Amino acid sequence: MNRLLREMPRRRAAMPDVAVVGGGMVGAATALALARAGFDTVLLEARAPAPWQLQDEVDLRVVGLAPSSVALLDDLGVWPSIRDARASAYAHMHVWDAASGAAIDFDAAAEGRRELGFIVENNLVQWMLWQALEAAGVRRLCPSAVQGFEAREDHVRLQLDDGETLSAALLVAADGGSSPLRQLAGIGTRGRDYAQRAVVAHVHTERPHESTAWQRFLPDGPLALLPLADGRSSLVWSLPEAQAQRVLALDDAAFRDALGVASDFRLGRVTGTTPRASFPLKLQLAERYQTDRFVLLGDAAHAVHPLAGQGVNLGLRDVAELRDTLLAARAAGRDIGAAHVLRRYARRRRSADTLDALGFDALARVYAWQSSPLVAARGAGVRLLDRLTPLKRLLSGHAAGQ
122 contacts 23 by C-beta, under 8 angstroms = no
Distance of CA 259 to the CA centre of its chain: 25
Binned at pLDDT 50, 70 and 90, residue 402 comes out as: low
DSSP 84: H
CA end-to-end span of the chain: 41
Nearest Cα neighbor of 380 from 100, 64, 128, 139 is 100
Tell me the whole-structure pTM to 2 decimals. 0.92
Report, as an integer, the average pLDDT of 42-55.
94
| Averaged pLDDT for residues 15-40 | 97
Question: What pLDDT digit, counting tens, does each position of 171-213 carry?
Answer: 999 999 999 999 999 999 999 999 999 999 999 999 999 999 9
159, with CB counted inside 10 A (0-12, 13-18, 19+), is middle
Task: Please tell me the number of Cα atoms within 13 Å of 167 on its side-chain side.
Answer: 11
Residue 163, classified by CB atoms within 10 Å of its CB into exposed (0-12), middle (13-18) or buried (19+), is exposed
DSSP state for residue 77 in the 8-state scheme: T
Closest Cα partner for 60 from 179, 226, 267, 289?
226
Contacts of 268 (CB under 8 A, 6+ apart): 205, 206, 207, 260
Residue-level pLDDT at 10:
38
The predicted-structure confidence for 157-167, as pLDDT tens digits, reads as follows 999 999 999 99
Separation CA 289–CA 282 (nearest Å): 19
CB 151 within 8 A of CB 294: yes
Contact 328, 272 (CB under 8 A): no
Q: State the pLDDT at residue 12.
A: 41
Average pLDDT over residues 65-88: 96
Length of the chain: 402
**H-helix or E-strand containing 218?**
strand 212-218
Rounded to an integer, the average pLDDT of 26-54 is: 96
Report pLDDT for 13: 41
Structure confidence at residue 5 as a pLDDT band (50, 70, 90): very low
Contact between residue 47 and residue 195 where contact means Cβ atoms under 8 Å apart: no
Confidence grade of residue 398 (pLDDT, cut at 50, 70, 90): low
The arithmetic mean of pLDDT across residues 64-75, rounded, is: 96
- State phi, psi for 191 to the nearest 5 degrees: 150, -155
Distance (Å) of CA 334 to CA 17, 341, 342, 364: 13, 8, 11, 43
Average pLDDT, stretch 273-302?
96
Position 377 scores a pLDDT of 86
Whole-number pLDDT of residue 345 = 97
- pLDDT number for residue 9: 39
Please tell me the predicted confidence (pLDDT) of residue 279: 93
Write out pLDDT tens, residues 228-246: 999 999 999 999 999 999 9
Does residue 158 or residue 111 have the better pLDDT? 158
Give the pLDDT confidence of 337-357 residue by residue, as tens digits. Answer: 999 999 999 999 999 999 888
Which runs of consecutive H residues, i.e. helices, occur in 205-310?
A: 241-249, 252-262
- Per-residue pLDDT, averaged over 387-393, amounts to 75
Averaged pLDDT for residues 132-138: 96
pLDDT > 90: what percent of the chain? 81
- What's the rounded mean pLDDT across residues 277-283? 94
pLDDT of residue 357: 87
Distance CA 218, CA 202 (A): 20
Rounded to whole angstroms, the Cα distance separating 129 from 32 reads 7
User: What pLDDT was estimated at residue 3?
Assistant: 34
| Average pLDDT along the chain | 91
Cα separation, 189 vs 38, in Å, equals 33
Interatomic CA distance for residues 22 and 352, integer angstroms: 23
What are the structural domains, with CATH classification, of the chain?
Answer: 2-55+125-190+284-365 (3.50.50.60)
9: which DSSP letter? G
Q: Please answer whether residues 400 and 116 qualify as being in contact, where contact means their C-beta atoms are separated by less than 8 angstroms.
A: yes
Angle between helices 25-36 and 122-133 (to 10 degrees): 30
DSSP state of 10: G
Nearest 5°: phi and psi at 157? -110, 125
Peptide bond into 143 cis (omega under 30): yes
Instruction: Give the highest mean pLDDT range of 292-296, 301-305, 371-375.
Output: 292-296
Strand order in the sheet with 87-90: 62-65, 117-121, 87-90
- Residue 378: its pLDDT value, please? 84
Closest CA relative to residue 284, chosen from 299, 263, 272: 299
Q: Could you tell me the pLDDT band of residue 400, with boundaries at 50, 70 and 90?
A: low
pLDDT confidence of 325, banded at 50, 70, 90?
Answer: very high
